[in-house]
Amino acid sequence: MKTQPYSDGHGVQAEEPKQWQLRLYIAGQTPKSVAAFSNLKRICEEHLAGKFEIEVIDLIENPRLAKDDQIVAIPTLVRKLPEPIRKIIGDLSDREQTLVGLQLRKFKR
Amino acid sequence: MTKTATKPKTSPASFPKCTTGIQGLDEITGGGIPKGRPTLVCGGAGCGKTLLGIEFLVRGAVLHNEPGVFLAFEETAEELTQNVRSLGFDLDDLIQRRKLAVDYIHIERSEIDETGEYDLEGLFIRLGHAIDSLGAKRVVLDTLETLFSGLSNVAILRAELRRLFRWLKQKGVTAVITAERGNGSLTRHGLEEYVSDCVLLLDHRVEGQISTRRLRIVKYRGSSHGTNEFPFLIGEDGVSVLPITSLQLQHKASSERISSGIPTLDAMLGGPGFFKGSSVLVSGTAGIGKTSLACHAADACCQRGERCLYIAFEESEAQLFRNMRSIGLDLEPWVKKGLLRFHIARPTMNGLELHLASIQKQVEAFQPHLMVVDPISNFVSAGTAPEARSMTTRLVDYLKSRQITTLFTNLNHADSNLEQTDLDVTSLIDTWLVLRDIELNGERNRGLYILKSRGMAHSNQIREFLLTDRGVQLTEVYLGPEGVLTGSARLAQEAKEKGTAVQRSLEIERKRAELARRQQALKAQIALLQLQFQSDKEEMERDITCEQVYLEKQEQGRHEMALSRKADSNGVQVPPTKNGRK
């Protein structure tokens, strides 16, 4: 999987004050990782079209990086921006829960 | 299971164990915790789990050159470093030398949401990375159970923990996992289900305002181990478990003897004094001279050029010097020469275990030949009597195993049985001297007797114990009609006996003179009788001669007459006597 930033290609980082920086930690191409990535991508494209950036970090390649964001569970999605930092662990298969976790929806069902 | 696969290839005869390097723990576990397997350390808050873990890693790194990884779930690396610095563990230095890695794992529940499936691969990767980069042999997970408060999916957690322990075994690292004690179970989240090779339980109890930490081996698969609760303490240099109750009676018995410093006491003990490495108890009421006796032994020890450790609970060093000078003992030069060392402590200053540990530490550092504990009965004030007894037992055993002669003093209360101590340690004692006061004629004097002395012919006499300006002296006591005589009664008796003796010798002289006189008188008498006899004899002899002359004359006359009558020369003769008589 790619470790370089992923963007939707519209190039709106500069003028957009509410730029979303998301980091997805995975450990190899496991079914859970693949599912998490595709779930995340779908949600972002729906709700944050044009103002998000997903960085995928594979801990098998860079185990050192797990320390910085206190990663224990895999997969973990870290919302670096906007602050405060939020973490969502799991394969993001529960769409509603993920939206609440990312604070894209203010309430839980 | 992977047990057999991960068993390190050490000597096949013995169960491979990993030396913890923690004082005493290796002893009670018979060599350490299972090598290459996880060990669970559980206990309540503040009982020393984290410290045990840290020490396990530090000792491993320092003593055995085995790098270790500490996975901290509760404290940051900085906090941990600070906390253990007071125990002399420099974690920063070990981290720099790549002997130790500390990884702080923190899960902030409030910023985490869970959706769907996940695993703890992140934890595995971090731990694996740390282990691999150092080549670590030892791992501590402290406290793994905090995961349960950070993550809500218990089913996933349990499955992942099981996988973690299996993975640790595969890695071949010796792991210590700490866990909080739960209600009615060893750990709050049942970790003992997964870690089943070795479980240590720590406990921290307060009894009578004095706290004692204890350690128990709940289980240890495939190895024999001590099953008792062992007191342990967190001292200035880490954890030390005091395994002395597991000691067997295997100490050597020396037949070498050492002087008590009092020649008469040595003589009472059958000549040379105490056995080397034996335990001596001096018991008695207050002010009876126990300390003086102990100081004599200390002085004698130093005179032999041997080292003596004096543990005093009642007097300061200076006070002891002053007091002993009054009986002619100057201990100060020995201190200056480094042969005598004092360890002054208030009994209530710390708990018994700490006392024992500090004594042990002193013994290790000073390596004494003789140790004096004055008085041992004070241990009771630092704990309960059973605890003090067990502590004394351990102390005696410890010192015996090191062949250190020990002199304990014991303060008896005035109304208590003299042949009994509060601590009931007398069965441990080899030689027991009892000092008692003897009240007579309005005086109080001191008496000493040997209640027992194993393995030597000893005197059964009570001696009077005198504190003179030339030290302790033991003199014979007098047995009068009212019992033992001491003090002035003894002096009076002595004077009386002296008087009687003079009288007796005069009498003998007189008798001798009398005898001589009588002999002389007898001799004179004999001479007189002899003289008398002589004169009688002479007279008798004269008479006899006269008679003979007369008889001869008569015979002659008769013959002449016969001649004159012309009698038959052969004729019948009339017996002359007949004729003579007519």
Residues A51-72: tens digit of each pLDDT? 888 889 999 888 888 888 888 8
| pLDDT, average across residues B484-494 | 77
- C-alpha B582/C-alpha B579 separation (Å) is 5
Least confident window among A103-107, B7-11, B468-472: B7-11
Return the higher-pLDDT residue of B68 and B108: B68
| pLDDT, average across residues B232-254 | 69
pLDDT at res. B497: 82
pLDDT at res. B514: 95
Distance from CA of A10 to the nearest CA of B (A): 29
Q: Would you state the structure tokens that stand for residue A20, as one six-digit string?
A: 């979303």
Does residue B148 form part of some domain? yes
Look at residue B349 and tell me whether its pLDDT is greater than 90. Answer: no
| pLDDT, average across residues B25-39 | 87
| Judgement on whether residues B210 and B276 belong to the same structural domain of the protein | no
A82: which chain B residues are within 8 Å (Cβ-Cβ)? none
| Judgement on whether residues B137 and B231 belong to the same structural domain of the protein | yes
| Judgement on whether residues B492 and B514 belong to the same structural domain of the protein | yes
Look at residue A13 and tell me whether its pLDDT is greater than 50. Answer: no
- For residue B52, how far is the Cα from the chain centroid? 32
Where do runs of H (alpha helix) occur along B367-440? 385-401
| pLDDT, average across residues A9-34 | 73
| Judgement on whether residues B486 and B445 belong to the same structural domain of the protein | no
| Judgement on whether residues B412 and B523 belong to the same structural domain of the protein | no
Look at residue B386 and tell me whether its pLDDT is greater than 80. Answer: no
| pLDDT, average across residues B485-511 | 86
User: What's the pLDDT band for B436 if we cut at 50, 70, 90?
Assistant: confident
| pLDDT, average across residues B407-419 | 78
CB-CB under 8 Å, A63 with B114: no
User: What's the pLDDT band for B113 if we cut at 50, 70, 90?
Assistant: confident
- C-alpha B309/C-alpha B12 separation (Å) is 45
pLDDT at res. B167: 92
Please give the residue of chain A at the shortest CA–CA distance from B128.
Answer: A63
| pLDDT, average across residues B225-244 | 75
- For residue B125, how far is the Cα from the chain centroid? 56
Return the higher-pLDDT residue of A39 and B3: A39
Look at residue B483 and tell me whether its pLDDT is greater than 70. Answer: no
pLDDT at res. A95: 81
DSSP B333: H
Least confident window among B48-52, B385-389, B427-431: B385-389
Least confident window among B7-16, B304-313, B513-522: B7-16
Mutation choice for A interface testing from B104, B108, B125 by most A CBs within 10 A: B125
Domain boundary among B243, B277, B294: B243
Does residue B252 form part of some domain? no
- Give the C-alpha distances (Å, rounded to integers) separating B296 from B23, B191, B410, B466, B481: 35, 59, 16, 13, 34
B576 preceded by a cis bond (ω within 30 of 0): no
Distance from CA of A42 to the nearest CA of B (A): 15
Look at residue B570 and tell me whether its pLDDT is greater than 80. Answer: no
Q: What angle do CA A76, A80, A85 make, to 5 degrees?
A: 80
B150: which chain A residues are within 8 Å (Cβ-Cβ)? 72
pLDDT at res. A16: 46
Does residue B568 form part of some domain? no
pLDDT at res. B7: 39
| Judgement on whether residues B325 and B443 belong to the same structural domain of the protein | yes
ipTM for the whole complex? 0.81
Tell me the sheet residues that pair with B155: none
Distance from CA of A61 to the nearest CA of B (A): 10
B121: which chain A residues are within 8 Å (Cβ-Cβ)? 27, 59, 73-74
pLDDT averaged over chain A?
78
pLDDT at res. B138: 93
Query: In a 3-state reduction of DSSP, which class is residue B579?
Result: helix
- What is the number of helices (H) and of strands (E) in chain A? 2, 5
Look at residue A17 and tell me whether its pLDDT is greater than 80. Answer: no
CB-CB under 8 Å, A71 with B122: yes
Distance from CA of A98 to the nearest CA of B (A): 6
Please give the residue of chain B at the shortest CA–CA distance from A60.
Answer: B125
| Judgement on whether residues B237 and B293 belong to the same structural domain of the protein | no
Look at residue A14 and tell me whether its pLDDT is greater than 70. Answer: no
Does residue B154 form part of some domain? yes
| Judgement on whether residues B465 and B493 belong to the same structural domain of the protein | no
Q: What angle do CA B175, B181, B183 make, to 5 degrees?
A: 145
What is the distance between the terminal CA atoms of chain A, rounded to a whole angstrom? 33
Q: Which residue of B113, B117, B121 is in closest CB contact with A88?
A: B113
pLDDT at res. B57: 92
CB-CB under 8 Å, A86 with B114: no
Query: In a 3-state reduction of DSSP, which class is residue B280?
Result: strand
How many beta-carbon contacts under 8 Å exist across A and B?
100
pLDDT at res. B399: 85
pLDDT at res. A107: 52
Among residues of chain B, what percentage have pLDDT more than 70? 89
pLDDT digit string, tens, across residues B63-75: 999 999 999 988 8
- C-alpha B367/C-alpha B307 separation (Å) is 7
pTM over 0.80: no
| Judgement on whether residues B87 and B202 belong to the same structural domain of the protein | yes
Tell me the sheet residues that pair with B138: B68, B174
| Judgement on whether residues B472 and B482 belong to the same structural domain of the protein | no
- Give the C-alpha distances (Å, rounded to integers) separating B339 from B300, B309, B329, B333, B371: 11, 8, 15, 9, 12
Among residues of chain B, what percentage have pLDDT more than 90? 21
pLDDT at res. B153: 86
Look at residue B382 and tell me whether its pLDDT is greater than 60. Answer: yes
Q: Which residue of B115, B122, B150 is in closest CB contact with A101?
A: B115
Does residue B334 form part of some domain? yes
The dihedrals phi and psi of B264, each to the nearest 5 degrees, come to -70, -35
| Judgement on whether residues B133 and B234 belong to the same structural domain of the protein | yes
Look at residue B327 and tell me whether its pLDDT is greater than 80. Answer: yes
| pLDDT, average across residues B121-132 | 91
B120: which chain A residues are within 8 Å (Cβ-Cβ)? 72-74
A70: which chain B residues are within 8 Å (Cβ-Cβ)? 105-108
Cα torsion B181, B185, B189, B193: sign:
positive
Least confident window among A87-91, B209-213, B410-414: B209-213
Which residue matches tokens 């609440």?
A100
A73: which chain B residues are within 8 Å (Cβ-Cβ)? 118-123, 151
Look at residue B357 and tell me whether its pLDDT is greater than 80. Answer: no
Structural domain boundaries, residue B299: 257-476
Number of independent structural domains in chain B = 3
CATH number at residue B101: 3.40.50.300
Please give the residue of chain B at the shortest CA–CA distance from A95.
Answer: B115
| pLDDT, average across residues B437-465 | 83
pLDDT at res. A92: 87
Does residue B355 form part of some domain? yes
CB-CB under 8 Å, A86 with B113: yes
B119 lies within 8 A of chain A by CB: yes
Return the higher-pLDDT residue of B243 and A8: B243
Look at residue B142 and tell me whether its pLDDT is greater than 80. Answer: yes
Does residue B563 form part of some domain? no
Look at residue B291 and tell me whether its pLDDT is greater than 80. Answer: yes
A62: which chain B residues are within 8 Å (Cβ-Cβ)? none
pLDDT at res. B423: 65
Closest CA to B31 of B251, B198, B207, B208: B198
Return the higher-pLDDT residue of B304 and A51: B304
pLDDT at res. B568: 64
pLDDT at res. B509: 94
What is the distance between the terminal CA atoms of chain B, rounded to a whole angstrom? 161
CB-CB under 8 Å, A92 with B116: yes
Distance from CA of B124 to the nearest CA of A (A): 8
| Judgement on whether residues B154 and B166 belong to the same structural domain of the protein | yes
pLDDT at res. B8: 41
B129 lies within 8 A of chain A by CB: yes
Q: Which residue of A63, A70, A88 is in closest CB contact with B125?
A: A63
A32: which chain B residues are within 8 Å (Cβ-Cβ)? 116-119
Q: List residues of chain A with CB under 8 Å from any CB of chain B.
A: 25, 27, 32, 35-36, 59-60, 63-64, 66-67, 70-76, 84-94, 97-98, 100-101
User: What's the pLDDT band for B580 if we cut at 50, 70, 90?
Assistant: very low
B112 lies within 8 A of chain A by CB: yes
Could you list the beta-strand ranges (E) of chain A. 6-7, 20-26, 52-58, 76-81, 86-89
Does residue B419 form part of some domain? yes
Please give the domain boundaries of chain A with CATH numbers for all domains.
18-101 (3.40.30.10)
Least confident window among A25-34, B7-16, B159-168, B365-374: B7-16
Least confident window among A87-96, B379-388, B490-499: B379-388
Look at residue B9 and tell me whether its pLDDT is greater than 80. Answer: no
pLDDT averaged over chain B?
83
Please give the residue of chain A at the shortest CA–CA distance from B122.
Answer: A72
| pLDDT, average across residues B532-541 | 95
